[in-house]
């Protein structure tokens, strides 16, 4: 034992000893080397745009990033696996050109009103179902529904993973249209109870999601694991854990990989309003959806979250439109960030589009007011694009006003 350590035992007070140890550690380079660097350091320039200064959907995204905890941001921002499909969803819009009209028409002449399954819409736009909005902003799902209704009565689809019960969301905007999302549940009695709950709450349509069969949000899970939350990224059992069985061995939710058309037949009997199937990416599935009672389908890959290396929704849209041949409406989502993106999807045959991530950006940035402004910006951009392309009504937006260069 060194003399200084021996002196601590017999001479110095405990407080002084601790102070000396602290001084020794402060002088050491080791703590600095071991310290975790803040992944989101505060910058020198901290002024953020006000809501009045927001010009595009992209202006909301950094405010969203700055307003929520990192896990909440990651859940919204990331996709499945390598995120190839997430990136391809956005790239696909670059492969479709809009043909300008000669001459263009005044924006005041553009009327995009339509009827979708009995719902009168001023714009062919809906708010897509996305989970847990209260962590984005205290306004949560109620604020989003109010925002959608205020933005020209835009219909909203409530996620089954809502952080606010449907019975509280539906009455928040009596003039609005609220549909409910549903993930298939093998037990038919539980399925019926879910449908009864939605109906009692005032939900008028059901969107059954089938595009989340086998995804694993690996990047998000890794971030959470590094943040100290217990995660098993390797797929095998940890020491002391029970052995994993079935789909869990492959990091998959046991409630997936079983969906059948027979289930859709049974569900159709339980749903009194419109039944929409979300997650169609193949023409044959579109035909089968019609045969099994779907009132509409949604061409969707869950925003790049359902399967890595899948096709972008814009690429497969034309062949699905051809297979449906006008028998039922076709909705579309994934990757939309601008009004011109909406125009391209409509031109390739979609009857309406759905906004997912972008509406979350708006809500997280400014609450309900931000979500409303986000929707209105895209509506305005869509009108501007239609005017430039010489399209005064929805039926004018077709393949003749675009050129495709898919690769």
CB 338 within 8 A of CB 389: no
192 vs 221: CA distance, rounded Å: 33
Residue 358 CA to residue 128 CA, distance in Å, equals 10
Beta bridge partner(s), residue 126: 354
How would you write 92-143 as a 3-class SS string?
A: HHHCEEECCCCCCCCHHHCECCEEECCEEECCCEEECCCCCCCCCCCCHHHH
Which position among 45, 78, 292, 302 bears the catalytic label? Answer: 302
Cis ω on the peptide bond leading into residue 103 (within 30° of 0)? Answer: yes
In degrees to the nearest 10, what's the CA dihedral of 362, 363, 364, 365?
50
CA dihedral 236, 240, 241, 242 (to 10 degrees): 100
How much is the CA Rg of the chain, to the nearest whole Å? 26
DSSP single-letter state for residue 243: P
Active site residue 302: yes
Q: Are strands 114-116 and 119-121 parallel, antiparallel or unpaired?
A: antiparallel
Alpha-carbon dihedral 131, 308, 312, 219, rounded to 10 degrees: 50
Residues annotated as catalytic (active site), given as ranges: 302
């Amino acid at each position: 034992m060194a003399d200084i350590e021996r002196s601590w035992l017999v001479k110095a007070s405990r407080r002084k000893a601790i102070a000396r140890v602290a001084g020794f550690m402060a002088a050491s380079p080791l703590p600095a080397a071991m310290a975790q660097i803040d992944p989101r350091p505060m910058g020198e320039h901290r002024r953020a745009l006000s809501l009045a200064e927001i010009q595009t959907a992209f202006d909301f995204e950094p405010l969203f990033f700055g307003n929520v905890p990192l896990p909440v941001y990651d859940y919204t921002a990331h996709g499945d696996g390598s995120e190839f499909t997430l990136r391809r969803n956005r790239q696909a819009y670059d492969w479709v050109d809009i043909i300008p009209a000669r001459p263009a028409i005044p924006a005041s002449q553009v009327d995009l009103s339509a009827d979708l399954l009995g719902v009168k819409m001023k714009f062919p736009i809906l708010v897509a179902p996305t989970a847990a909005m209260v962590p984005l902003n205290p306004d949560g799902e109620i604020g989003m529904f109010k925002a959608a209704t205020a933005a020209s009565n835009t219909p909203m689809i409530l996620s089954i993973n809502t952080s606010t019960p449907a019975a509280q969301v539906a009455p928040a905007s009596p003039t609005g249209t609220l549909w409910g999302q549903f993930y298939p549940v093998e037990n038919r009695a539980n399925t019926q109870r879910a449908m009864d709950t939605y109906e009692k709450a005032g939900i008028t349509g059901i969107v059954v999601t089938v595009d989340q069969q086998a995804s694993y949000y690996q990047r998000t899970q890794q971030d959470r694991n590094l943040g100290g939350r217990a995660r098993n990224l390797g797929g095998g059992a940890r020491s002391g854990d029970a052995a994993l069985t079935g789909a869990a061995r492959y990091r998959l939710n046991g409630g997936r990989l079983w969906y059948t058309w027979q289930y859709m037949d049974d569900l159709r009997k339980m749903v009194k309003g419109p039944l929409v199937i979300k997650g169609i990416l193949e023409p044959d599935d579109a035909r089968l959806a019609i045969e099994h009672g779907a009132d509409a389908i949604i061409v969707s890959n869950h925003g790049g979250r359902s399967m890595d290396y899948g096709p972008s929704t814009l690429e497969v849209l034309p062949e699905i439109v051809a297979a449906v041949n006008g028998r039922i409406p076709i909705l579309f989502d994934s990757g939309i960030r601008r009004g011109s993106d909406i125009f391209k999807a409509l031109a390739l045959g979609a009857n309406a589009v759905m906004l997912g991530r972008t509406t979350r950006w708006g809500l997280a940035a400014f609450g309900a007011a931000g979500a409303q402004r986000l929707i209105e910006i895209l509506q305005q951009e869509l009108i501007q694009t239609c005017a430039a392309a010489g399209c005064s009504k929805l039926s004018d937006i077709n393949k003749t006003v675009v050129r495709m260069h898919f690769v």
